Chain A
Amino acid sequence: MDILNSPWITICSDVLAILMISALLIRSSHIWKKEPGYRLLRGMLFSSMADALCNAVCYFLHDKRFAGAYTLAVISQTALEIAIVSILCHWLLFVDYQLYSSRDHLKRHYRPYLMPVPVFVLLHIVNAFTGILYTIDAGLRCERSIFYNVILIIEYCYVVISLAVILKYRKEHGSARFFSAMPMILPLVAAVAISELTPHSFVALGFAVGLVNIYLYLKRSRKYYEEETGFFNVAYLEYIKTLEEKGERGRGVMIRISSDGDNKAVSDILRQELPADAEVIFMGKGRYLMFAGNKNRQFANLVNVMLQDAVEEYNAGNPQAKIRIKADIISGNER
């Protein structure tokens, strides 16, 4: 058998993709399982399984005739195309959610992201009866029309948009978020290129590698999180100091927050009252530091007032609690 043309290359890459995505799902924490990201990853898994099944049918059962036609070949090829569209959509939605961590941001982009999908699906189904995109000839080769290539370019725009989202996020958050965009981008680009230039499909594998890289990025960032409170730990402060010494980040103002009382209740209050993406470090023994960039004493006073109001409300509802929080500004030298 000619190894380079063996259908087993595609099938092995699909199986590897399924195993990688399954591993990500299994290793997910129980908290993340409630998040939209987990459901999107699951959708990616099912799409990859469909992709694998269709590839297998295409390769091994393509010459079976039903009702005088290569019906199975046509159905499996159509289903394969739809599975690829599904993988592309799930990838884009997953990237959007994982990077921005915003349900509303995802919801507001659903419609523009998913609008072309019914059109693609319809076109592929229509193609099964009319052959406007591609035909399967007597030699069971797939002959593509120019319209197919146009549709393909539009489908792969999902990859381009996801790259734009990744790069935009990188630009906004810079290197302080342990982010390297290339390990996420290169596997996709390589997979798409190889799939188009060879008889084999590595699409599912390319996306799976991209997903693993996103997972590794999240895992790398998790070592800087303190489990009890969900805020950054002291190691993150050291990391920031390193960036400041290298000149990759400016030294800014910090707000010191001192608290008495149940750590979990205090961290819940802080999470509720402080800006959603504020960098807050738990220093231990009820002490927190918040990076406030170029903000001033007035901002620190505002933080203090907000926290006092929240504590007052909490203590009123939980008389046993007696939580106390105080915030004041410190300069970089006082850390």
Chain B
Amino acid sequence: MGDIIELTEDNLEQYNDLIGGEETENIGREYYRGIVMTDDKGKVIASAIWEMIHLDDDEKDTEARLVSMHAEDDDKAGRILEEFRNRIREEDAVSCFFELKPDESGITQKVFEKAGFDISETEGSEIVVTLKELNEKTFSRSGKTPPYIRELGSLMVRPFRRGVMDCIFHSRRELMEDLGTISMSWFEQQVSSYVETDDRVSGFLLIHKTPSDRLRLEVFTASGGDAKKDLFSMMVFSLRQALKYYPEDTEVVICRRDSDIKNLTDYLLPEVKGMKVIYGRKEGV
């Protein structure tokens, strides 16, 4: 039907416009993978991008999270899905899952059901709010933020790496898979913030600016005796920074991947709901 080509940083540029979506910017990150299927003329007829989870964790099963999939029709979707499963099997993944917006992928649910996925329609884990909406919340009117909350741009690389190591070490939640290796420049320098305690970084609120100029919350964690207070202060600081540098209608994407973030967003933004998505999971790829 078509050639399967692995996406890499070297060839990404030639397929970027043809694939669409924001997920291609993740190609090149340690645990992200991508493939495209092209026709005889080199036109992209299907694509899939996924993230490997717990790949370097001997205690947990490796999983794959399908981040995006596009195809011109169900036949091509089936082919690319099969290739996706082959590739994650090679990396010893024992299960895979996805959340896909039904209108964007061009694929019907039948493709996934035929491949053995358990499918359901549900509320997506991501919510999107604007800076204006966040600014209308009570927390944004808190007093002056403490001087030990600073913008990421004021931090050098080595202390950043130490702070990342401290956060990974202390965090009871799962953070970004590649937080330990990702470059500091991946994060928006003026809106992201950190807490300094005893000359060490003890917390981060890290934001990534996507190609479509959205602000995506990637890391939100703090350790130490005043962790909750520090988290709140970072939230206020980063919001104020964002309002300083970005227009009010800038969208902020928050992925509610764990219960702590979900509880926080339910409390602060009870009226905001995730989009309707198709959730699929398959045990045993």
Check B169 against A275 for contact (C-beta < 8 Å).
yes
Contact pick for A309, options B158, B169, B177, B198, CB 8 Å: B158
Check A296 against B57 for contact (C-beta < 8 Å).
yes
Q: Hey, which chain A residues are within 8 Å of B224, CB to CB?
A: 102, 105
Chain B: number of interface residues, binned into ranges: 20 to 34
Q: Which B157-213 residues have C-beta < 8 A from chain A?
A: 158, 161-162, 164-166, 168-170, 177, 180-181, 196-198, 200
Residues 102-123 of chain A: 1 if any B CB is under 8 Å from the residue's CB, otherwise 0?
A: 1111001000000000000000
Does B10 lie at the interface of the complex (its beta carbon under 8 Å from any beta carbon of A)?
no
Check B165 against A108 for contact (C-beta < 8 Å).
no
Q: Which B35-93 residues have C-beta < 8 A from chain A?
A: 54, 56-60
Q: Hey, which chain A residues are within 8 Å of B181, CB to CB?
A: 298, 301-302
Does A189 lie at the interface of the complex (its beta carbon under 8 Å from any beta carbon of B)?
no
Please give me the residue from chain A that is nearest to B195 by CB atom.
A104
- How many angstroms from the CA of A292 to the CA of B196 in the assembled complex? 23
Question: From residue B232, how far is it (CB to closest CB) to chain A in Å?
Answer: 14
Does B139 lie at the interface of the complex (its beta carbon under 8 Å from any beta carbon of A)?
no
Does B274 lie at the interface of the complex (its beta carbon under 8 Å from any beta carbon of A)?
no
- How many angstroms from the CA of A298 to the CA of B58 in the assembled complex? 10
- How many angstroms from the CA of A303 to the CA of B164 in the assembled complex? 11
Check B198 against A306 for contact (C-beta < 8 Å).
no
Question: From residue A290, how far is it (CB to closest CB) to chain B in Å?
Answer: 9
Does A276 lie at the interface of the complex (its beta carbon under 8 Å from any beta carbon of B)?
yes
Question: From residue B249, how far is it (CB to closest CB) to chain A in Å?
Answer: 36
- How many angstroms from the CA of A331 to the CA of B59 in the assembled complex? 10
- How many angstroms from the CA of A120 to the CA of B59 in the assembled complex? 56
- How many angstroms from the CA of A296 to the CA of B177 in the assembled complex? 11
- How many angstroms from the CA of A278 to the CA of B146 in the assembled complex? 27
Contact of A275 with B166 at beta-carbon distance under 8 Å, contacts A298-B180, A302-B181, A306-B161 already known = yes
Q: Hey, which chain B residues are within 8 Å of A293, CB to CB?
A: 169
Q: Hey, which chain A residues are within 8 Å of B57, CB to CB?
A: 296-298
Check B165 against A105 for contact (C-beta < 8 Å).
no
Main secondary structure of the interface of B (DSSP, over half): loop
Question: From residue A47, how far is it (CB to closest CB) to chain B in Å?
Answer: 25
Question: From residue B179, how far is it (CB to closest CB) to chain A in Å?
Answer: 9
Q: Hey, which chain B residues are within 8 Å of A273, CB to CB?
A: 162, 165
Please give me the residue from chain A that is nearest to B146 by CB atom.
A108
- How many angstroms from the CA of A274 to the CA of B197 in the assembled complex? 15
Question: From residue B180, how far is it (CB to closest CB) to chain A in Å?
Answer: 4
Check A276 against B166 for contact (C-beta < 8 Å).
yes
Q: For the complex, count residues of A whose C-beta is within 8 A of B.
A: 27
Does B226 lie at the interface of the complex (its beta carbon under 8 Å from any beta carbon of A)?
yes
Does A64 lie at the interface of the complex (its beta carbon under 8 Å from any beta carbon of B)?
no
Check B198 against A294 for contact (C-beta < 8 Å).
no
Check A278 against B169 for contact (C-beta < 8 Å).
yes
- How many angstroms from the CA of A253 to the CA of B177 in the assembled complex? 18
Question: From residue A185, how far is it (CB to closest CB) to chain B in Å?
Answer: 19
Does A32 lie at the interface of the complex (its beta carbon under 8 Å from any beta carbon of B)?
no
Check B169 against A104 for contact (C-beta < 8 Å).
no
Q: Hey, which chain A residues are within 8 Å of B166, CB to CB?
A: 275-276
Q: Hey, which chain A residues are within 8 Å of B197, CB to CB?
A: 102, 104-105
Q: Which A289-335 residues have C-beta < 8 A from chain B?
A: 292-299, 301-303, 305-306, 309, 331
Check B58 against A296 for contact (C-beta < 8 Å).
yes
Please give me the residue from chain B that is nearest to A273 by CB atom.
B162
Does A60 lie at the interface of the complex (its beta carbon under 8 Å from any beta carbon of B)?
no
Q: Hey, which chain B residues are within 8 Å of A278, CB to CB?
A: 169
Question: From residue B70, how far is it (CB to closest CB) to chain A in Å?
Answer: 30
- How many angstroms from the CA of A296 to the CA of B58 in the assembled complex? 7
Q: Hey, which chain B residues are within 8 Å of A147, CB to CB?
A: none
Does B225 lie at the interface of the complex (its beta carbon under 8 Å from any beta carbon of A)?
yes
Q: Hey, which chain A residues are within 8 Å of B164, CB to CB?
A: 302
Please give me the residue from chain A that is nearest to B157 by CB atom.
A309
Please give me the residue from chain A that is nearest to B158 by CB atom.
A309
Does A178 lie at the interface of the complex (its beta carbon under 8 Å from any beta carbon of B)?
no
Q: Which of B59, B170, B225 has its CB near the most chain A CB atoms (within 10 A)?
A: B225
Q: Hey, which chain B residues are within 8 Å of A305, CB to CB?
A: 161
Q: Hey, which chain B residues are within 8 Å of A239, CB to CB?
A: none
Contact of A295 with B225 at beta-carbon distance under 8 Å, contacts A276-B198, A276-B200, A309-B158 already known = no
Q: Hey, which chain A residues are within 8 Å of B158, CB to CB?
A: 309
Q: Hey, which chain A residues are within 8 Å of B161, CB to CB?
A: 302, 305-306, 309
Question: From residue A190, how far is it (CB to closest CB) to chain B in Å?
Answer: 28
- How many angstroms from the CA of A299 to the CA of B57 in the assembled complex? 9
Q: Hey, which chain B residues are within 8 Å of A298, CB to CB?
A: 56-57, 177, 180-181
Q: Hey, which chain A residues are within 8 Å of B60, CB to CB?
A: 296
Please give me the residue from chain A that is nearest to B167 by CB atom.
A275
Q: Hey, which chain A residues are within 8 Å of B170, CB to CB?
A: 275
Question: From residue A63, how far is it (CB to closest CB) to chain B in Å?
Answer: 50
Please give me the residue from chain A that is nearest to B200 by CB atom.
A276
Please give me the residue from chain A that is nearest to B168 by CB atom.
A299
Residues 91-102 of chain A: 1 if any B CB is under 8 Å from the residue's CB, otherwise 0?
A: 000000000101
Contacts A104-B196, A295-B169 known; list 17 others, CB within 8 Å: A102-B224, A105-B198, A108-B146, A253-B59, A273-B162, A276-B166, A276-B200, A292-B169, A296-B59, A296-B60, A299-B165, A302-B165, A302-B180, A303-B165, A305-B161, A306-B162, A306-B165
Which 10 residue pairs are nearest across A and B when measured between Cβ atoms?
A: A296-B57, A302-B180, A298-B56, A275-B169, A297-B56, A104-B197, A275-B166, A105-B225, A104-B198, A100-B225
Q: 7 interchain pairs (CB within 8 A)? A: A103-B198, A275-B166, A295-B168, A295-B169, A298-B56, A299-B168, A302-B168
B-side interface residues toward A, CB under 8 Å?
A: 54, 56-60, 146, 148, 158, 161-162, 164-166, 168-170, 177, 180-181, 196-198, 200, 224-226
